[in-house]
Structure 1
Amino acid sequence: MSIRNATGGSNPSEQDAWYLVQCKSRQDQRAEENLLRQGYVCSRPICLRDQIVRGRRQLVRESLFPGYLFINLPASVDWSPLRSTRGVSRLVSFGGMPLAVGAGVVAQFQQCAELVVSPSFKNGDIVKVLEEGFAELNAVFLTLDGEERAILLIDFLSRRQQVSLPLTKISAL
């Protein structure tokens, strides 16, 4: 993930600031493409997510913050062309003024965005449970239960039990 602009450059000016743009529903990529075409510097952190598509697990690229992207602009710029850009809904503002986002925050998202990958577990993998009540127990991954949950086999009270937990509550060993 990197900062992109229409001229291929990647270093916004020191006096420019980052702002948050709200995009129209499911049009983050369209908004980014149109803003880049107009010469703006944009950043739309992307993550990879394990998802079931047509019965198969696939790694899908999607926005880390669906419906939003960051744009780098000087404070003195005319904001009106942004509002009429296809895919853009508005510039996020407080008290009628766009609020700058810290450059460090945007840089941090850029560094970790491509690394954010939903776990890809296979049947029989040993995983660690992070859920309270089962914390620090090891379990056997059986299968996905929808897109956000997993079915696990846990040794609990001398019996093997099947439990369904959110994917966010398990990690690889």
Structure 2
Amino acid sequence: MSRMKEGWYLLKARTKQEQRAYENLENQGFDAFCPIIKRQEKGKVIKEEVLFPGYLFLYLDLKDLDRYYLIRSTRGVSTVVQFNQVSRRLLEDGRLPANSGNELKELLPQPIPNGENIISQIKEMVVFLEQSRDSDAVFHTGDVVTVCNPLFDHLKATFIKGISVDRGVILIEYIKQQRSIDGTVEEKHTRPPRKLTVKLKDLKKADGYQGH
């Protein structure tokens, strides 16, 4: 009986054949995932690129496990990445107890640890990168932004830096406007500024402001 488990597996594709492997796996009824992003080049030409060159993902459920042998013979696929290579090497070197040999000889690839969460994050990354093709979605240090959150949407915020593909750091300023006797409007800080980590999708540039 197969010892493989349900989950997302990482596949190594043959050189520049990620999409070919993806299409052939899909044609066989497998659930494959090859993250593709579109980049805008000079002259506004849109070019498709594989997010992880040389790799793609495959989800195997119970009905797929008995068809595992088909994967490595699929055109475009080089191999299934092993996450239990240490155990395999110890077995091959004869450094494991003899009574464990029969069991370990059947070692098969294991799913990506925490695979569902990782794939979900990759899909979010693809969406963000697609959106960032629009220059309005790219934030630069010094940009004045607003936060799409009722707690902060009335406050002035400045973009400081990005810390990951979908998160950044902003500086929130607690400012109260008040009018002086001569009619001029003055701004007064009611609290010290505060740095805050936010999702980039929750930010938008304030009209008329841009960093340098």
The structure with more radius of gyration: 2
Distance in 1 between residues matched to 2:6 and 2:110, nearest whole Å: 13
CA 1:98 to 1:51, structure 2 compared with 1: closer, same or farther past 3 Å?
A: farther
TM-score by length of 2: 0.45
**Residue 120 of structure 1, CA deviation:** 6.2
Higher helix share: 2
Q: 5+ unaligned residues in a row in structure 2: which ranges?
A: 89-107, 143-159, 161-209
Which of 24, 27, 35 aligns to 2:17? It is 27
Distance in 1 between residues matched to 2:117 and 2:134, nearest whole Å: 30
Higher strand share: 1
Distance in 2 between residues matched to 1:93 and 1:119, nearest whole Å: 35
The total of aligned residue pairs comes to 116
Distance in 1 between residues matched to 2:68 and 2:134, nearest whole Å: 42
Deviations 1:54-91 (A, max 9, x none): xx342222211111111001374342211110100111
Distance in 1 between residues matched to 2:51 and 2:37, nearest whole Å: 5
Contact 1:49 1:62 in 2 (8 A): yes
Contact 2:13 2:76 in 1 (8 A): yes
* 1:126-165 mapped onto 2 (5 Å cutoff): 128=140
TM-score by length of 1: 0.54
**Higher RCO (CA 8 Å, separation ≥ 6 residues):** 1
Query: Which structure 1 residue ranges, 4+ long, deviate > 3 Å from structure 2?
Result: 74-78, 117-121, 127-130
The sequence identity of aligned pairs, in percent, is: 33
Distance in 1 between residues matched to 2:59 and 2:78, nearest whole Å: 17
* Matched letter for residue 110 of structure 1: K
Q: Report the counterpart of residue 90 of structure 1 in structure 2.
A: 79
* 1:1-173 mapped onto 2 (5 Å cutoff): 16-52=6-42, 56-74=43-61, 76-94=65-83, 95=85, 96=88, 97-101=108-112, 102-117=115-130, 119=133, 128=140
